[in-house]
Amino acid sequence: MQLTGAQIVLECLKEQKVDTVFGYPGGTILNIYDELYKQHDDFLHIRTSHEQGAAHAADGYARSTGKVGVCMATSGPGSTNLVTGIATAYMDSVPMVAITCNVNLPLLGKDSFQEVDIAGITMPITKHGYIVKDVKDLASTIRKAFKIARTGRPGPVLVDITKDVTAKTCDYRKETIADEKPEKKYTSDDINAAIKMIKASKRPFIYVGGGAVISGASAELKKFAELVDSPVCDTLMGKGAFDGTDKKYTGMIGMHGTKTSNFGVSECDLLITLGARFSDRVTGNTKTFASKAKILQIDIDAAEINKNVRANFSIVGDLKMVLADINKKLEKIDKLDHSEWLKKIYENKKKYPLSYETDKLTCPYIIEELDKLTDGKAIISTDVGQHQMWAAQYYKFRYPRTFLTSGGLGTMGYGLGACIGAKAGNKDKLCVNIAGDGCFRMNMNELATASKYNLPIIEIVINNNVLGMVRQWQTLFYEQHYSETIFEDKVDYCKVAEGLGCMAIKVTKKSEVSAALKKAIKANCPVVIDCHIEEDDKVFPMVPAGASISEAFDAGDLKNKK
């Protein structure tokens, strides 16, 4: 049948079972929005307050559901406003398709009004980018974009369409999109080699990254940890892949990881790396990282093998599939026993617990109360900074796809949009964003989006009147030179929230936290809880930049050193 380009875009979204789109209209994308008007029963379109919010919402939708997130924007500043969100998704391997429209084909390359080369701009931060200049290529391009976004190591794909293509017509034939199974590139010899390393180990340690969440490998990971009889740590992106309440779990690894994880990895003789890329925030000094261990790395992306840390052996493949194959063979051998190693790990867990000051209102206390009230079943998004680390440390993530945070890019202002996207994709789940006051200022306009669509999300603002993480560095490493990190203004976040159509609750002491959270959870509307904490609270443990993770220190160490 003959359809316009705009109609083809929407038909292709239906093929991909897209039910939710986040975007903002403008001149060059008007034809697509006109079709959305006619087909509004087929899609939930959420118009965010800013295009960056649309990209973050598509990202949060994708991370929490496992589906491809979709965002739309017009040409020029509309498309460039997506860039930070696209880069965030790229760094954290989030499947997303960003659809933009550009000026008419004859106007391309002439510095026309609101014309930018968005495909060129986003080339380094997308898995692939397309410019569609012929309506006959439109359907096949969109189908390829979705396939690229979701297969292998996921990531964002850009489809830029000239406006005249959305108006022209051509023949369209519907296609059924079949489910795709990951390609198996490894052999039984690879599995046997991995098992040989595992059997030879006396002190194994499992290090879990975001790939375990993406591949849906939680069940296989749990079984693997039991078969190997090994402690388990995770990265910021790996949260929830392994149950945070399991006895074998030792906490996060890296710059703000637990001493148990950091010291354990430094002492292990085999580091089993599952879907993790050895980020600098994890490894610290790579020359001393896991220096006593052989390294077994399993990852879907061959480019990550030996990129930051050299592995003794590696398997390239989908983690869920690889672990399933390893588990089958491990079940047939004598049970592995690392009880002595685990005994030492458990002793370290008691010796080096996470701790905070209990005589005042703190972010860790707020997060622990949230964890108790939600039983770890909420979807938690965060922005970036101290609150992000506290959330990772003190909320016991029991399930995958429940922690949404900007790990690779470290995007301030990410969390609120992501929370909106998560709620749109998970209407039956409680969705909470935890933000610092600095991050909240970046995209607090998205509260208007939450109130417009009556999305009952909870926004917890950790308000210390400073840029907390930057101030922490200034205190520890920059002789307390608090250059531009103190908010000396009169902003009232409760009034801002109410002005944008949300309920607001102010919390200034510990006794108010539980009641505020319960009230917000019961409210059938978006709620902002403005929590006032002291400006000099710090995240511990901490590893100085470039130091070995075995040099992790906490407040007690600082006090003893002084």
553 an active-site residue?
no
Burial class (CB in 10 A: 0-12, 13-18, 19+), 481: exposed
Neighbours of 542 (CB within 10 A): 22
**Element holding 322 (H helix, E strand):** helix 319-330
The residue from 389, 442, 469, 503 that is catalytic is 469
* C-alpha torsion angle, residues 230, 235, 239, 241 (rounded to 10): -40
Single-letter amino acid code for the residue at 529? I
Please name which of 130, 151, 137, 169 lies closest in space to residue 3, comparing C-alpha atoms: 169
Single-letter amino acid code for the residue at 14? K
Contact predicate 265/259, CB 8 Å: no
The residue from 15, 67, 114, 551 that is catalytic is 114
**φ, ψ at 181 (rounded to 5°):** -95, 145
389 an active-site residue?
no
163 an active-site residue?
yes
Where does 82-182 show beta strands of DSSP type E? 96-102, 128-132, 156-162, 169-171
51 an active-site residue?
yes
**Angle, to 10 degrees, between the axis of helix 5-15 and the axis of helix 30-38?**
60
Alpha-carbon gap, residue 173 to 8, rounded angstroms: 9
Q: In what order do the strands lie in the sheet with 232-234?
A: 249-252, 232-234, 204-208, 270-274, 294-299, 313-316
52 an active-site residue?
no
Contact predicate 67/96, CB 8 Å: no
The residue from 113, 174, 292, 519 that is catalytic is 113
Please name which of 349, 430, 440, 431 lies closest in space to residue 387, comparing C-alpha atoms: 440
The residue from 11, 51, 368, 446 that is catalytic is 51
Q: Which two tokens stand for residue 500?
A: 């944008």
The residue from 7, 72, 91, 163 that is catalytic is 163
Cite the active site residues: 51, 113-114, 163, 469
